[in-house]
Amino acid sequence: MASIFVTGSADGLGQMAARLLVDAGHRVVLHARSAERAAEALSAVAGAEAAVIGDLSSIRSTCEVAEQVNRLGVFDAVIHNAGIGYRERGRGDTVDGLPAVFAVNTLAPYILTARIDKPRRLVYVSSGMHRGADADMTDLTWSERRWNGSSAYAESKLHDVILAFAVARLWPDVLSNALEPGWVATKMGGPGAPDDMDAAPRTQVWLATSGEPAALVSGQYFYHVQRRAAHPAASDLAIQQQLLAACARLSGVTFPA
């Protein structure tokens, strides 16, 4: 039995992955942005041990989520599933003055990775859209550019892959990988999404728990339990360092080398 923490598990793919993990006999801790959503998540995922609460669009709240997780012990795996999509209108600036897509999809996984006691495995949920993203790190918060929600989302999902690969390099004792679940009919993906909903959460679960040699790797990118090429920038040492430095500056949270 493994212990796994899943962010953004009140609904969608995070909740589906949590159910699969519980059904397989693992100890699962959920996450939701409010107490009401946490209660709904625990009701929906019978057998989950607990749910931590915190809005990942807030730097302070994200740090508090990490503290809650650490009080529950050291986990075997953390699945960074929480995210918001590109259909949001406008920047949706957070309490910290950041675009919500960047705050939730990029900065929150960085903070949680830095602040949660180091697990054995880290899994970052990205998107196939990351391949078309701009890898320039000079305007991560869209302060200089005209806002484009689709591009901002794609960039944030590229950041998740860069973070996964950077962690794999910096923490050789941790298996750190990223994946794309496919374009599926979740609240984020929309009703017309064509990909396989049943397959979508399974790569998360496999990377978090499997003892198969193919899953016991680090610094790789997957789609439906198969390796797939990622954006070349994700493996660029300079770009990795730029992202980590920017996230540290914006959040006030230093990444533990």
Write out the catalytic residue numbers.
Answer: 153, 157
Q: Let me know if residue 257 belongs to a domain.
A: no
- Model confidence pTM above 0.85: yes
Question: For position 194, which CATH number holds?
Answer: 3.40.50.720
Q: Let me know if residue 256 belongs to a domain.
A: no
Please give the torsion angle defined by the CA atoms of residues 95, 97, 103 and 104, in that order, rounded to the nearest 10 degrees: 40
Query: Total structural domains in the chain?
Result: 1
Q: Let me know if residue 49 belongs to a domain.
A: yes
Q: Let me know if residue 201 belongs to a domain.
A: yes
Joined together, the tokens standing for residue 225 give 């339990």
Domain that holds residue 160: 3-251
Spell out the per-residue pLDDT of the chain, length 257, in tens.
899 999 999 989 999 999 999 999 999 999 999 999 999 999 999 999 999 999 999 999 999 999 999 999 999 999 999 999 876 566 789 999 999 999 999 999 999 999 999 999 999 999 999 999 999 999 999 999 999 999 999 999 999 999 999 999 999 999 999 999 965 434 554 445 445 556 789 999 999 999 999 999 999 999 999 999 999 999 999 999 999 999 999 999 999 97
Strands laid side by side in the 221-223 sheet: 50-53, 27-32, 3-6, 77-80, 121-125, 175-180, 221-223, 226-227
Distance CA 88, CA 149 (A): 7
